[in-house]
C-alpha cells in the first residue's frame, strides 16, 4: 500500500479507492488494529465517495517513534491533516473513526471545523472532566497487555490518556455528526451523554453490539453511514435517536 512522508518525519500508510473526483470519506481505525479493519465497508463506501483509510502513527505500516510523549491526540490529528493535504483531500471531507480513531476524528474536527463536511463518531466519546487514567479501549483494561513495551501502542495509550477533554467545546462544533454505538457497549454508554452537546447530530444504537459495531454488524454500519450522508446532503432532519 502507498505511504505519505510528512514534514514531521512521520510516514503514514494509507489506502484509497473510489472516484478521485468524489467527496473524500476518511476513516480512522481503532486501537491496536490498522486500516484493514475497514475491509468489510470498503466496497460499499467507495462507490460514491473517495474512501481514504489510514494507519495512525504507531499502528500498521505507519511510523512508530520510540518517544511515547510524541503521541498526543493533537499530533495524531495533525498527521491526518498532513495526509489529507498530501492527497489534496482536505476541503469538504467527511471525517470519522471508531473508538481510538473516533478520538482522532473528534480532535481533527475541532482543529479544522471549516474543512469538515460531516463527522462520524463510532464507539467513542469525549474524555470527560473527571476521567480516570485509563482510555476507552478494550485492551487497556487487561492489566499488562501482550503488547506492553511496543512504542507505537504504548504511545497510542498515552495519547488516549492525555487527550484534551473536548466535551464543552463540542457544543460549538457546527458540523453534522453521526454517533454510532452498540446497545451492549458497557465501555462507551456510561459516557455517551458527553456527546449530547453536539448541535447537529444523529444517534444510532446498533442492537446486540458491544464495543466494535463496524465489525459486529458491518453491513448495517455502512448503511447507516450512507443514509446519514445522504440526509446531510439533502438537508433532511438529523435529530434522531434510533435503535437499528
What the chain holds in terms of domains, given with CATH numbers, is 3-243 (3.40.50.1820)
Instruction: Give the Cβ contact number of residue 32 at 10 Å.
Output: 21
The Cα–Cα gap between 142 and 15 comes to 31
pLDDT tens, position by position, 72-130: 999 999 999 999 999 999 999 999 999 999 999 999 999 999 999 999 999 999 998 87
> Can you give the pLDDT at residue 240?
85
pTM, full prediction: 0.94
Residue position matching grid coordinates 473527571: 130
* Alpha-carbon torsion angle 72, 90, 103, 78, nearest 10: 0
> Can you give the pLDDT at residue 90?
98
Q: Using an 8 Å Cβ cutoff, are 73 and 103 in contact?
A: yes
> Can you give the pLDDT at residue 130?
74
Provide mean pLDDT across the span 136-150: 56
Q: Using an 8 Å Cβ cutoff, are 19 and 47 in contact?
A: no
Helix (H, G, I), strand (E, B) or coil at 110: helix
The Cα–Cα gap between 106 and 46 comes to 22
The Cα–Cα gap between 8 and 188 comes to 33
By mean pLDDT, which of 7-16, 136-145, 149-158 is the weakest? 136-145
In terms of DSSP bridges, do strands 93-98 and 177-182 run parallel, antiparallel, or are they unpaired? unpaired
pLDDT(192) > 60: yes
Amino acid at each position: 500500500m502507498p505511504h505519505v512522508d510528512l514534514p514531521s518525519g512521520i510516514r503514514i500508510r494509507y489506502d484509497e479507492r473510489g472516484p478521485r473526483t468524489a467527496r473524500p470519506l476518511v476513516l480512522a481505525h481503532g486501537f491496536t488494529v490498522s486500516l484493514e479493519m475497514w475491509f468489510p465497508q470498503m466496497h460499499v463506501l467507495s462507490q460514491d465517495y473517495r474512501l481514504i483509510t489510514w494507519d495512525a502513527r504507531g499502528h500498521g505500516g505507519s511510523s512508530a517513534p520510540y518517544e511515547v510523549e510524541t503521541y498526543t491526540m493533537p499530533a495524531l490529528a495533525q498527521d491526518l491533516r498532513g495526509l489529507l493535504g498530501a492527497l489534496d483531500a482536505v476541503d469538504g471531507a467527511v471525517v470519522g473513526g471508531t473508538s481510538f480513531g473516533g478520538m482522532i476524528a473528534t480532535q481533527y474536527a475541532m482543529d479544522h471545523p471549516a474543512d469538515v463536511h460531516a463527522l462520524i463518531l463510532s464507539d467513542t466519546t469525549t474524555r470527560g472532566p473527571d476521567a480516570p487514567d485509563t482510555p476507552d479501549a478494550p485492551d487497556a483494561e487487561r492489566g499488562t497487555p501482550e503488547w506492553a513495551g511496543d512504542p507505537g501502542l504504548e504511545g497510542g495509550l498515552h495519547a488516549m490518556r492525555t487527550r484534551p477533554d473536548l466535551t464543552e467545546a463540542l457544543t460549538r462544533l457546527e458540523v453534522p455528526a453521526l454517533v454510532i454505538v452498540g446497545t451492549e457497549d458497557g465501555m462507551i454508554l456510561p459516557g455517551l451523554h458527553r456527546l449530547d452537546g453536539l448541535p447537529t447530530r444523529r444517534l444510532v444504537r446498533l442492537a446486540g453490539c458491544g464495543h466494535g459495531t463496524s465489525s459486529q454488524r458491518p453491513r448495517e454500519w455502512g448503511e447507516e453511514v450512507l443514509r446519514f450522508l445522504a440526509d446531510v446532503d439533502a438537508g433532511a432532519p438529523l435529530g434522531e435517536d434510533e435503535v437499528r
